[in-house]
Structure 1
Amino acid sequence: MTAATGKRVAVVTGGIGGLGTAICRTLAASGQRVIAADLGRDAARVAAFEAAVDGLDVAFLPLDVADFDACGSFVADVEESEGRLDVLVNAAGITRDGTLRKMDREQWDSVLSVNLDGVFNLCRHAVDGMAARGHGRIVNISSVNGQTGQFGQTNYAAAKAGMHGFTMALAREVARKGVTVNSVSPGYCETALVLAIPEEIRAGIVAQVPVGRLGRPDEIARTVAFLAAEDAGYITGANIPVNGGMFMSF
């Protein structure tokens, strides 16, 4: 816990996005000191995020999760300034859709670099400190499309499926160190990315969801907060689907 506040310290990558903002707000409401990490190149988005978390113990720091060295410096800076890093939520993600026959190398590389390499880059630098302190919570935001596949998303589906493979392997490595590692796989939610889909296509997506609606970012955030809680130490290597029943399995 931070010496100054007595709070656990949480980092949320992709923190100023739709899901990221909801996660930051929910973790802060649960009593944690939260640092949102995102590119920060869009001043309007940063301003909207700061307005959304006004009054909460949330700070913003710029970070490119695809940059391994930058992630190392970021983690070191957080541990120095805050005294520790207890919770890491890897929510940064992008899409560059296209069928494989038309997908170029940049579309593949950029999605894998952010969505999967970004998870490695942050975890690689954060996990030693967590293990040394005997406590840590890592939550990786995967996707229902990593479980089912999706037309035009070989890059995205591969990254999100790979994320959970990474989750299970790391969970085994650090389980006895007091560190849990889990995934959350959201379905289609009310975010800017999904709401930008043409209405007729979006209606077709909703028709496939048994509960009959898009998910709300707060519903994903509550699941993250549950996995990040002090008393969630017996859950590790798990994938929690929050998809309205769009994909069901054991």
Structure 2
Amino acid sequence: MSTILVTGGTGTLGRLVVERLRGAGHRVRVLSRSARDYPVDLIEGTGLDAAMAGADVVVHCASTPKGGDDKAAAHLIEAARTAGVRHLVYISIVGVDEVPLPYYRVKYRVERMIEESGLGWTVLRTTQFHDLVLGYFRAMAKLPVLLVPAGVADQPIDVQEVADRLAELAAAPPAGRVADMGGPETLGMTDLARVYLKAAGRRRPVLPVRLPGKTFAAYRRGGHLTPAHAVGRGTFTEFLERQGVRA
């Protein structure tokens, strides 16, 4: 079995990937700043050489909208080259090349860095996780009126299914840019908000607000959706039921 290094291995997605890889018998190293065995700071590039030594595969799940993903990727790629890693797997987002959100632009830059790294690589793009959509509605429901962007739909996917796919890709040879993964249904944000309110037992008027700018124009065009790859199975409603969502 392979030695696989997982960045962001304690996060929402990363910890599930770690569980699946260990369950399949792989030796897994979890990278984080606070890790006892492999303390690594990706932004600063510290600790990477020791963590990377002897690794066959790297699954790169670490990411932050605060900035610095490209700097972290540069350090990771350099260390992977030095260590002779044969496969770098990266999780990205559907629409990073369509939606001019700063975070998306950086994610797209990281994709290109990995493609040009000289390493064997695989990139998987997915739509937003159910967890992120739930977090948005929980925050907005604190207001007397639940505001949603007008004319925008979403196609959320279950993070468990994404973890299954990433673990599968990590155990396989490099595949380049693989087919996107999208959730099983595309619903307007107004409809998703009502699904949440019903599950949470809350009463709020839902108010669509048309937001200006190129980013929301791209969202209204569906640049973050992948209806041709609606391969997910778990719906947002089923996710809320499984989570036992309450207000």
TM-score, structure 1 as length reference:
0.62
Q: Is the Cα contact below 8 Å between 2:38 and 2:50 reproduced in 1?
A: no
Alpha-carbon distance between aligned partners in 2 of 1:119 and 1:27, rounded to the nearest angstrom: 22
Alpha-carbon distance between aligned partners in 2 of 1:15 and 1:202, rounded to the nearest angstrom: 33
Specify the alignment match of 1:247 in structure 2: 226
Specify the alignment match of 1:128 in structure 2: 82
Instruction: Work out which of the two has the higher radius of gyration on C-alpha atoms and give 1 or 2.
Output: 2
Q: Secondary structure at the match of 1:141?
A: strand
Specify the alignment match of 2:65 in structure 1: 95
Cα drift, residue 165 of structure 1: 1.0
Specify the alignment match of 1:54 in structure 2: none
Q: Secondary structure at the match of 1:65?
A: coil
Cα drift, residue 72 of structure 1: 3.0
Q: Is the Cα contact below 8 Å between 2:6 and 2:58 reproduced in 1?
A: yes
Q: Does 1:148 align with 2:114?
A: no
Distance of aligned partners of 1:198 and 1:31 in 2 relative to their CA distance in 1, 3 Å threshold = same
Cα drift, residue 137 of structure 1: 2.0
1:181 to 113, 121, 131: 121
Q: Can you list the C-alpha shifts for 1:129-180, whole angstroms capped at 9, x where unaligned?
A: 336xxxx221012112413315xx31x111111121122222xx24xxxxx2
1:223 to 165, 189, 192: 165
Distance of aligned partners of 1:38 and 1:186 in 2 relative to their CA distance in 1, 3 Å threshold = farther
Cα drift, residue 247 of structure 1: 2.5
Cα drift, residue 239 of structure 1: 4.1
Q: Secondary structure at the match of 1:242?
A: coil
Specify the alignment match of 2:71 in structure 1: 117
Alpha-carbon distance between aligned partners in 1 of 2:37 and 2:147, rounded to the nearest angstrom: 32
2:88 to 122, 129, 138: 138
Alpha-carbon distance between aligned partners in 2 of 1:202 and 1:148, rounded to the nearest angstrom: 24
Distance of aligned partners of 1:32 and 1:198 in 2 relative to their CA distance in 1, 3 Å threshold = same
Cα drift, residue 187 of structure 1: 1.4
Q: Secondary structure at the match of 2:121?
A: strand
Unmatched 5+ residue regions in structure 2?
Answer: 141-145, 187-224, 230-247
Q: Is the Cα contact below 8 Å between 1:72 and 1:122 reproduced in 2?
A: no
Specify the alignment match of 2:221 in structure 1: none
Cα drift, residue 186 of structure 1: 2.2
Alpha-carbon distance between aligned partners in 1 of 2:147 and 2:84, rounded to the nearest angstrom: 41
* Paired residues for 1:1-250 under 5 Å: 7-40=1-34, 61-75=38-52, 79=53, 84-96=54-66, 111=67, 113=68, 115-130=69-84, 136-149=86-99, 153-154=101-102, 156-170=103-117, 173-174=118-119, 180-191=120-131, 193-199=132-138, 208-209=153-154, 214-229=156-171, 232-233=172-173, 235-244=174-183, 246-247=225-226
Q: Secondary structure at the match of 1:198?
A: helix
Cα drift, residue 118 of structure 1: 1.4
How many residues in Structure 1 have an aligned counterpart in Structure 2? Answer: 182
Query: CA RMSD of the aligned region, Å?
Result: 3.0
TM-score, structure 2 as length reference:
0.63
Letter in 1 for 2:11: G
Percent identity over paired residues: 20
Letter in 1 for 2:74: F
Cα drift, residue 125 of structure 1: 0.8
